Amino acid sequence: MLERVETDYGIIDIERPAAAKIIKETILRHEDVYGITNAKGIRSSFSSRFAFDRDKNYIRITKDKEDGIFIEVDLILRFGVSISGTTSRLIREIREDLKVQADIEPALITLHVIGLKPSGRNPKIMERDIVVKG
């Protein structure tokens, strides 16, 4: 169990896969994001936008009893986007969506931009190592 929320209707337990699904949907609705990836740079495929099982391992959610919930996501962004603007917007929207949909307030969200994808058919990902915390 990640979080327990008490409502007028009773107690609701929020599990990690549910929180990861909210985070994934928030991230993948942005055109600036090419994909969620694992730390080795293996991107989730387009079909995995519909098949959630593969992506849940790409979003790391940990909970510390004293400090709260920590979220880490590795991303590939599209070449030419504002990295600081995109990551700031993603962090803000992930916080808002988790609060509204699951009543979760993360202590820290870390986005790790591991690459940029050029436009066109060029399959080569330009490697980057940019960490943004918020």
Q: What is the pLDDT of residues 73-117, one digit of tens each?
A: 999 999 999 999 999 999 999 999 999 988 889 999 999 999 998
Banded model confidence at residue 36, pLDDT cuts 50, 70, 90:
confident
State the burial class of residue 47 (Cβ atoms within 10 Å of its Cβ: 0-12, 13-18, 19+): exposed
| DSSP E strand stretches across 20-58 | 33-37
d(CA 52, CA 21): 7
Cβ partners under 8 Å of residue 43, min gap 6: 34, 35, 36, 37, 76
Q: Which of the listed CATH numbers 3.10.290, 1.20.1300, 3.30.300, 3.30.2010 matches domain 15-133?
A: 3.30.300
Does residue 45 carry a pLDDT above 70?
no
Does residue 22 carry a pLDDT above 70?
yes
* Three-state SS at 113: strand
Model confidence pTM above 0.75: yes
Top-confidence residue, 3 or 32: 32
Banded model confidence at residue 51, pLDDT cuts 50, 70, 90:
very low
* Three-state SS at 76: strand
